[in-house]
Amino acid sequence: MALKLSPAVLILIATVLIVVLPGLVLPSPYYYRVGALVFISALAVIGLNLLMGYAGQVSLGHAGFFAIGAYGTAILPAQLGWPPLLAAATGVVLAAALAFAIGRPILRLRGQHLAVATLGIGMLITMVLNAEVAITGGPDGMAVARATVFGFKLRAPETWYWISGGLLILGVVAALNLLNSPTGRALRALHDSEVAAEVLGIDVTRYKLVVFVAASVYAAVAGAALALFSGHVTPDVGSFLRSVEFVTMAVIGGLGSILGSIVGAAVLVILPQVLTVFQEYETLVLGVMIILFMIFLRGGIVPGLAARLTARLTP
């Protein structure tokens, strides 16, 4: 049996990493910025992993909900004068509402048909963001008002490192609570066999909708955090390539692993920064490394390493 970490241990590992990293390897604001990007990406990937890794539902439109969170945070203050934090919360609610509205019909699909349907949703969202120039700024994007708490503007990379780290911890706790509830057991049953789950009396449609909405909330919160952190958003936040990036993070880290979501996000955010020493060969080297990960750690980095460690420790 592969080595498994308890929820408390997972939370402890994530918390310790976030707290200890600044004193070890974050000597300048640039590194805090990269750390914040890792945490924000990891938050979005945890939601996707709930959907794909635990419930077995394929999504290629996850970035669409990410974009709704980001643009809700940008548009409402610019057009209506709303406070940025209230706008961010509203963007998350809008993403959840859209997921609920479209989830029931599209989640009747399975496999590649579901993948294409979610891809279409993401593409439609991106098309709207590009076309509505008067509202979204079109392809050039738009500025995002800085959030203010008690007169203090949330602007510095160091500040957003701790905010995004805190959001990630909350996301991990919420995901682990969900997975250790009756809903989590139902999601695992769906992953193994929807037909068998129905035979056992599980409301398949209901639980698929629940996890789809939950995944959209994770993506929207991450998108809102990115918008407030960067101060500018473009339609690229909801592009197909961003969705593929999220899926790649989940697969590399390990589907069905919360810790794997964090590791996968860290790998794909940090590696491109490290590989800049290869200059024009940077993308080539990154692609080769991803291929090697998939060849030697087919289940993902975290499950693969856990299985190998278990094999070594087992007499």
CATH number of the CATH domain containing 225: 1.10.3470
pLDDT given at position 315: 64
pLDDT in tens, 95-141: 999 999 999 899 888 888 999 999 999 999 999 999 999 999 999 99
Average pLDDT, the chain: 90
Helix axes 182-192, 157-179, angle to 10 degrees: 80
pLDDT in tens, 224-235: 999 999 999 999
- Return the minimum-mean-pLDDT range out of 20-24, 142-146, 191-195, 246-250: 20-24
User: Which residues lie across from 203 on neighbouring strands?
Assistant: none
pLDDT given at position 61: 94
Q: Is the pLDDT of residue 8 over 90?
A: no
User: Which residues lie across from 149 on neighbouring strands?
Assistant: 152
pLDDT given at position 1: 46
**How many domains, the chain?**
1
| DSSP codes, 2-31 | -----HHHHHHHHHHHHHHHHHHH--SHHH
pLDDT band at 215 (very low <50, low <70, confident <90, very high): very high
Per-residue pLDDT, averaged over 167-174, amounts to 95
60 secondary structure, DSSP code: S
Cβ contact 154:228 at 8 Å = yes
Percent with pLDDT over 70 in the chain: 96
Angstrom distance (rounded) from CA 33 to CA 159? 10
φ, ψ (nearest 5 deg) of residue 212: -65, -45
For Cα atoms 268, 99, 259, give the angle at the middle one, nearest 5 degrees. Answer: 35
pLDDT given at position 139: 94
Q: How many residues does the chain have?
A: 315
Per-residue pLDDT, averaged over 75-92, amounts to 96
Q: Which domain holds residue 129?
A: 2-313
Closest to 76 in 3D by CA, of 84, 68, 64:
84
pLDDT in tens, 24-53: 666 778 889 999 999 999 999 999 999 999
Quote the tokens at residue 121. 């949703």
Helix axes 29-49, 204-230, angle to 10 degrees: 170
pLDDT given at position 163: 95
Residue 159: exposure state from Cβ atoms within 10 A (0-12, 13-18, ≥19): middle
Angstrom distance (rounded) from CA 315 to CA 310? 10
- Return the minimum-mean-pLDDT range out of 47-56, 67-76, 143-152, 168-177: 143-152
pTM: 0.93
Residue type, 124: L
pLDDT band at 54 (very low <50, low <70, confident <90, very high): very high
